[in-house]
């Protein structure tokens, strides 16, 4: 009879230990999911910032090219032609 009680106590101790581990891991999992959400938001914001900076950089490059110097007159003409083609494509799409 005492062997059965010993086995029952052992099983009860193991179950308590497993329950404590489960609760700990569940809380840790929630914390990690929250960190993931925060980091994903930061990544999204960083990507938006990168896109904005790239757009500003491209606009600055175009402005500098259009501002032009004698060295960059060929690049200026190419950029203007590219812009005109892009505007023409936009007009075509709007007229459809």
What does the pLDDT look like over 63-76, one tens digit per residue?
776 666 666 677 77
Cα distance between residue 62 and residue 88, in whole Å: 18
Give the contacts of 79 (CB within 8 A, at least 6 positions apart).
Answer: 62, 65, 66
User: For residue range 41-66, what is the model confidence (pLDDT) as tens digits?
Assistant: 999 999 999 999 999 998 887 777 66
Predicted structure pTM score: 0.55
With vertex at residue 40, the alpha carbon angle to CA 39 and CA 41, rounded to the nearest 5 degrees, is 90
Give the CA distances from residue 37 to residues 24, 28, 40, in Å, rounded to whole numbers and listed in that order: 20, 14, 5
Cα distance between residue 43 and residue 41, in whole Å: 5
């Amino acid at each position: 009879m005492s062997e059965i009680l010993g086995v029952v106590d052992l099983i009860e101790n193991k179950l308590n230990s497993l329950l404590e581990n489960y609760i700990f891991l569940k809380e840790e999992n929630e914390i990690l999911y929250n960190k993931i959400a925060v980091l994903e938001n930061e990544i999204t914001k960083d990507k938006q910032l990168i896109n904005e900076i790239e757009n500003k950089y491209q606009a600055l490059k175009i402005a500098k090219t259009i501002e032009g110097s004698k060295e960059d007159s060929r690049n200026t003409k190419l950029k203007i032609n590219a812009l005109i083609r892009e505007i023409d494509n936009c007009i075509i799409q709007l007229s459809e």
